[in-house]
Amino acid sequence: MRAKVIGGGFAGCEACYQLLKRGVDVTLVEMKPLKFSPAHRLDTLCEVVCSNSFKSDDPYTSSGLLKAEMRLLDSLIVRVAEETAVPAGNALAVDRYAFSQKVTDVLNGFDNFRRINAVATDLDAEDFDFVIVATGPLTDDGLIPAFREIFGEKFLYFFDAVAPIVTADSIDYDSAFAASRYGKGDADYVNCPMNRQEYMDFYRNLIAAETAELKDFENNVFEGCMPIEVMAKRGEDTMRFGPLKPVGLRDERKNEKPYAVLQLRKENAEGTRYNLVGFQTNLKYGEQKRVFSMIPALHNAEFVRYGVMHRNTYIDAPKFLNENFQLRTNPKLFFAGQLTGVEGYMESAVSGLVAAVQAFRIFSGMQPLEFGDDTLTGALCRHVSTDYGDYDPMNSSFGILAPLREKIRDKSERKIAYAERAIESIKKTVNQ
């Protein structure tokens, strides 16, 4: 069996692995390093372009439950993430360079893997049993004509914003303190507190700062990647109930309670670089340096990467795909990743996993696996294939799961019930 995968991101790499380990001859078409999108920099596959955190690993949270499901499905992405993890409290965060290199090495280790560095311009499946399209939210313009033939003239898209990174040794640790919120974890975050006056000065400068011009595209911002300056303009205290919330954080060296706190998270295993958590931004670079340096702990900060904003493209999947991520009008074509309207690293990876496993089974003459809507994996499959009207990107959440049979009032107990039910359901799917 021969398959082509277009795109070497999270969905594409997970799809390749699932096919390779099943003995399929896989050709990966990846445009790097011949051409880079506005957000990519590395020659390696599965590049982490936004936050290096893959969110909570607690199985009783939706993001942790999705990872638990993926472990049972033998996800390459989750396994490598664990092998290249950096401390981040209850979250699973990675050294982005080690993670990308390890995924690349694993795929290159298969004899039935072939990588072609080229800019894809068609979805031709003539020489393959099937094709999985996982070109991501920054799909190159070279594929747009092929997409128009399938999906028509209209494309859906939104903007994604990336947070800045600073060097560890440029942080003022007299003004900062190490702690995890509510004491969870091993003080994995560097916290940058502000008193009320410092916060107000920062706030006023932030909402007045100059942003980079957005050309050719509408400003359709996805709530999950809201630029910090857009959030600030929604109200004076909006940031204090979001990324700058001070609750659960206290500098034991001082008596006063912080009015607002910016958290910094490790970007690599060595701890030489830190990400400004929740500070996705479209400010001009000079403005980022000026405004963010107003935070006392960052007054001498050295920025190794400034925030950027880029277009994320996705298709109106429910009108075209079934729950196997298969194109209804051409069964040899499958789509995966953020291009389909799943939002997030793990969500993208699991869509690539599902597309690959189902494609293999279908073209091997087997029935596709049944992923129940009591699992996050199955619920995401329903999301991309069920037309409820307006279509928006979707993260994993307990809210997309099928309701519990019995009503549970206690929130914590309800999450446990959702998680335990999902795990049992995924185990049944694995044994099909």
360-376: pLDDT as tens digits = 999 999 999 999 999 99
Clarify whether residues 179 and 240 are in a common domain. yes
Clarify whether residues 174 and 254 are in a common domain. yes
CA dist., res. 224 & res. 11, Å (int): 19
% the chain with pLDDT above 70: 96
Name the pLDDT band for 20 (thresholds 50, 70, 90). very high
Final residue belonging to a domain, choices 291, 307, 323: 307
Clarify whether residues 115 and 201 are in a common domain. no
Clarify whether residues 99 and 149 are in a common domain. yes
Q: What is the pLDDT of residue 217?
A: 41
Clarify whether residues 265 and 331 are in a common domain. no
CA 191 from chain center: how many Å? 23
CA dist., res. 372 & res. 384, Å (int): 14
Q: Which pTM does this prediction carry? A: 0.81
Clarify whether residues 413 and 298 are in a common domain. no
Clarify whether residues 184 and 124 are in a common domain. no
Handedness of CA 264, 265, 266, 271 (dihedral sign): positive
User: How high does pLDDT run on average in the chain?
Assistant: 91
Q: What is the pLDDT of residue 353?
A: 98
CATH of the domain at 252: 2.40.30.260
Name the pLDDT band for 281 (thresholds 50, 70, 90). very high
Name the amino acid, one letter, at 323.
E
Final residue belonging to a domain, choices 277, 307, 337: 307
**Count of domains forming the chain:** 2
* Lowest-confidence region among 201-205, 252-256, 367-371: 252-256
Q: Which of 154-168, 182-196, 207-221, 348-362 has the highest mean pLDDT?
A: 348-362
Tell me the average pLDDT across 258-279: 91
pLDDT tens across 117-161, in order? Answer: 999 999 988 899 999 999 988 888 889 899 999 998 777 777 677
Clarify whether residues 339 and 247 are in a common domain. no
Name the amino acid, one letter, at 420.
E
CB 19 within 8 A of CB 346: no
pLDDT tens across 159-170, in order? Answer: 677 899 999 989
Q: Which of 246-260, 266-280, 343-357 has the highest mean pLDDT?
A: 343-357
Q: Provide the domain limits for residue 383.
A: 2-160+311-430
Clarify whether residues 45 and 153 are in a common domain. yes
Clarify whether residues 154 and 128 are in a common domain. yes
Q: What is the pLDDT of residue 214?
A: 59
Q: What is the pLDDT of residue 156?
A: 74
Clarify whether residues 327 and 279 are in a common domain. no
Final residue belonging to a domain, choices 307, 335, 368: 307
Clarify whether residues 40 and 173 are in a common domain. no
* Lowest-confidence region among 134-143, 233-242, 328-337: 134-143
Q: Is residue 221 predicted with pLDDT exceeding 70? A: no
Tell me the average pLDDT across 182-193: 80
Q: What is the pLDDT of residue 223?
A: 58
CA dist., res. 158 & res. 393, Å (int): 9
Name the pLDDT band for 218 (thresholds 50, 70, 90). very low
CATH of the domain at 341: 3.50.50.60
Q: What is the pLDDT of residue 24?
A: 98
